[in-house]
């Protein structure tokens, strides 16, 4: 089975969130199941520099506002996966992240930049750009690559099976309808049954309407986005797809996230011997300027600082968490950036509680590993969470998650109720409505458990025993691809007349 994955970012070359981790790990897992996998990525500076042995596949000429576009083929340096790179300097050779400039402003030509990604993926899938390799399945990831599904569906002969994965429905790729002409698609697609979305043009809707199957990154999120509360205005479209929408839980790359072999942490440890864990905690406290105190429970946040992540709830609950310094009051370490008001509020908290609150306002991959290893508990109080990788990493590192009962968090954390503790299945602490009181109560339960060393060790070990390997997810994706190729009923999606 030949599978082409299309995405805008990939770890370790370009990363703004969990999407990059997924795209970095899934190809290798699929290959290990027997699939033949290639990637297609935009020619961002770090991607052009990081993909090895690039050779020219074909010259595409002038496209989407660029005067010269070249399709190149090379290999990912870390795993050898063959990768097509769309070399279009006019569109991709820029500073900042893939979507915004260094000041956080959306690139004004993003519609063309990501239409080109979808267009190239669709034409590769049609066998037009590289006749030596023609995929059976085109798998597009998030809105950046979603237009690939529309380009495939608009062609009268649809020869490739299409899958679209939603990583976060809240980010939809919305553009003015006046720019539809830039896409080179038939006008029959620019209707309410097609790409039109409340007066805008939606890339996300292209994936939802024109892929044969839609997946999300957790089963619970697949159910949630069919509701008005979590559907971001697209719940009707999702409900209309019915059984064509399903959830496959993200995995964790054990070659990167493994406390027994992680070269980025102060001391390695495992479920067999947790001796290195307190050494990691002391090292992290020292690194961040926190009081080095083995008895003080250290809570961590590793996240984009946005309202979605519920971090305003953390700020509101912080005084209760930190109370009683002389009696082993907790500490908080925060890593991430985003909303300026949240950044300022956490910075002020660090100034108000020196030695007890530490804030690092940028993402640092190596520090993220040290946070997972050094913290006692991780806070993930998200208002919505498609999957969440943070709590998966934390579980594998014996760091107990405190999460809201939503999305993939509810799929991956077992609340430490008395019954779950008695049955030895509990792995963390969960709360319901997104309120300060709910988080406060969950953290109070966490502190009570922390002061019970046998129980805390039980929670740590049960978390470390969880299997979130990519091999499990890859097998599910492979089964999904197989259903499509076998012509399973109900998988087609007809383009608007």
For residues 70 and 15, membership in a common domain is answered with yes
Measured in degrees and rounded to the nearest 5, phi and psi for residue 328 equal: 80, 35
Residues 6+ apart with CB under 8 A from 290: 284, 298, 331, 333, 355, 356, 358
For residues 438 and 339, membership in a common domain is answered with yes
For residues 179 and 282, membership in a common domain is answered with no
- Residue 174 and residue 197 in contact, taking contact as beta carbons nearer than 8 Å: yes
- Give one word for 253, left, alpha or beta, with left for phi > 0 and alpha for psi -120 to 50: beta
Report the pLDDT value the prediction gives residue 323, as an integer from 0 to 100: 81
Query: pLDDT tens digits for the chain (497 residues)?
Result: 999 999 999 999 999 988 999 999 999 999 999 999 999 999 999 999 999 999 999 999 999 999 999 999 999 998 899 999 999 999 999 988 999 998 889 999 999 999 999 999 999 999 999 999 999 999 999 999 999 999 999 998 878 999 999 999 999 999 999 999 999 999 999 999 999 999 999 999 999 999 999 999 999 999 999 999 999 999 999 999 999 999 999 999 999 999 999 999 999 999 999 999 999 999 999 999 999 999 999 999 999 999 899 999 999 999 999 884 445 579 999 999 999 999 999 999 999 999 999 999 998 999 999 999 999 999 999 999 999 999 999 999 999 999 999 999 999 999 999 999 999 999 999 999 999 999 999 999 999 999 999 999 999 999 999 999 999 999 999 999 999 999 844 334 434 33
The DSSP secondary structure of 295-347, one letter per residue, reads TS-EEEEES-BSGGGTHHHHHHHHHHHH--GGGT--EEEEE--B-HHHHHHHH
Report the pLDDT value the prediction gives residue 489, as an integer from 0 to 100: 41
- Residue 463 and residue 394 in contact, taking contact as beta carbons nearer than 8 Å: yes
Residue 260 falls inside a structural domain: no
Half-sphere exposure of residue 147: CA atoms within 13 angstroms, side-chain side: 28
For residues 480 and 442, membership in a common domain is answered with no
For helices 365-374 and 276-288, give the axis angle rounded to 10 degrees.
Answer: 130
For residues 280 and 223, membership in a common domain is answered with no
Residue 301 pairs with which residues in a beta bridge? 334
- Residue 460 and residue 466 in contact, taking contact as beta carbons nearer than 8 Å: no
For residues 451 and 479, membership in a common domain is answered with no
For residues 304 and 247, membership in a common domain is answered with no
Residue 267 falls inside a structural domain: no
Residue 383 falls inside a structural domain: yes
430/25 Cα distance (integer angstroms): 28
For residues 29 and 88, membership in a common domain is answered with yes
Residue 107 falls inside a structural domain: yes
CATH number of the domain that residue 399 is part of: 3.40.50.2000
Residue 497 falls inside a structural domain: no
Between the alpha carbon of residue 78 and those of residues 38, 73, 186, 365, 454, the distances in Å are 14, 16, 40, 16, 40
Report the pLDDT value the prediction gives residue 327, as an integer from 0 to 100: 52
For residues 399 and 481, membership in a common domain is answered with no
Between the alpha carbon of residue 335 and those of residues 17, 96, 131, 286, 408, the distances in Å are 13, 20, 46, 15, 21
For residues 181 and 310, membership in a common domain is answered with no
Residues 6+ apart with CB under 8 A from 313: 381, 434, 435, 436, 438, 439
For residues 224 and 244, membership in a common domain is answered with yes
How many domains is the chain built from? 2
- Residue 147 and residue 183 in contact, taking contact as beta carbons nearer than 8 Å: yes
Does residue 350 have a cis peptide bond before it, meaning omega lies within 30 degrees of 0?
no
Residue 140 falls inside a structural domain: yes
Residue 491 falls inside a structural domain: no
Report how far Cα 205 is from the mean position of its chain's Cα atoms.
Answer: 19
Domain enclosing residue 153, as ranges? 2-251+471-485
For residues 317 and 219, membership in a common domain is answered with no
Residue 180 falls inside a structural domain: yes
């Amino acid at each position: 089975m030949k599978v082409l994955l299309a995405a805008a970012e990939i770890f370790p070359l370009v990363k703004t969130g969990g999407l990059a981790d997924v795209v970095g790990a899934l190809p290798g897992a699929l290959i290990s199941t027997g699939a033949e996998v290639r990637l297609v990525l935009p020619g961002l500076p770090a991607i052009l520099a990081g993909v090895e042995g690039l050779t020219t596949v074909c010259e595409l000429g002038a496209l989407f506002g660029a005067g010269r576009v070249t399709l190149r083929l090379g290999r990912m340096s870390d795993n050898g996966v063959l990768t097509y790179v769309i070399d279009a300097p006019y569109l991709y050779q820029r500073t900042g992240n893939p979507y915004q400039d260094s000041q956080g402003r959306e690139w004004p030509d993003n519609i063309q930049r990501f239409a080109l990604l979808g267009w190239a993926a669709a034409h590769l899938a049609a066998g037009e750009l590289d006749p030596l390799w023609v995929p059976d399945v085109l798998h597009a990831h998030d809105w950046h690559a979603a237009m690939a599904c529309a380009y495939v569906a608009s062609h009268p002969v649809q020869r490739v099976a299409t899958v679209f994965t939603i990583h976060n429905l809240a980010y939809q790729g919305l553009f003015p309808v006046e720019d539809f002409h830039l896409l080179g698609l038939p006008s029959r697609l620019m209707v309410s049954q097609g790409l039109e979305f409340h007066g805008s043009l939606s890339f996300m809707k292209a994936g939802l309407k024109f892929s044969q199957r839609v997946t999300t990154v957790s089963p619970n999120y697949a159910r949630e986005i069919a509701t008005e509360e979590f559907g971001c205005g697209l719940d009707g479209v999702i409900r209309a797809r019915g059984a064509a929408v399903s959830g496959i839980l993200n995995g964790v790359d054990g070659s990167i996230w493994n406390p027994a072999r992680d070269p980025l942490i102060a001391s390695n440890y495992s479920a067999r011997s947790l001796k290195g864990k307190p050494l990691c905690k002391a090292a992290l406290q020292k690194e961040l300027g926190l009081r080095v105190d083995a008895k003080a429970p250290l809570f961590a946040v590793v996240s984009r600082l946005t309202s979605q992540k519920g971090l305003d709830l953390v700020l509101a609950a912080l005084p209760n968490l930190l109370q009683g310094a002389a009696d082993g009051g907790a500490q908080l370490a925060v890593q991430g950036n985003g909303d300026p008001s949240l950044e300022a509020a956490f910075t002020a908290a660090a100034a108000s509680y020196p030695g007890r609150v530490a804030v690092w306002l940028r993402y640092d991959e190596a520090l993220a590993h040290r946070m997972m290893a050094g913290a006692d508990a991780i806070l993930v109080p998200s208002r919505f969470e498609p999957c969440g990788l943070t709590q998966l990493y934390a579980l594998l590192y014996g760091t107990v998650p405190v999460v809201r009962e939503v999305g993939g968090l509810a799929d991956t954390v077992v609340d430490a109720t008395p019954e779950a503790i008695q049955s030895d299945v509990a792995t963390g602490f969960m709360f319901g409505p997104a309120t300060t009181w709910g988080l406060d109560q969950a953290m109070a339960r966490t502190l009570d458990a922390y002061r019970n060393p046998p129980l805390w060790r039980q929670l740590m070990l049960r978390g470390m025993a969880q299997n979130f390997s990519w091999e499990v997810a890859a097998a599910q994706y492979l089964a999904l691809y197989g259903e499509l190729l076998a012509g399973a009923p109900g998988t087609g999606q007809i383009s608007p007349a």
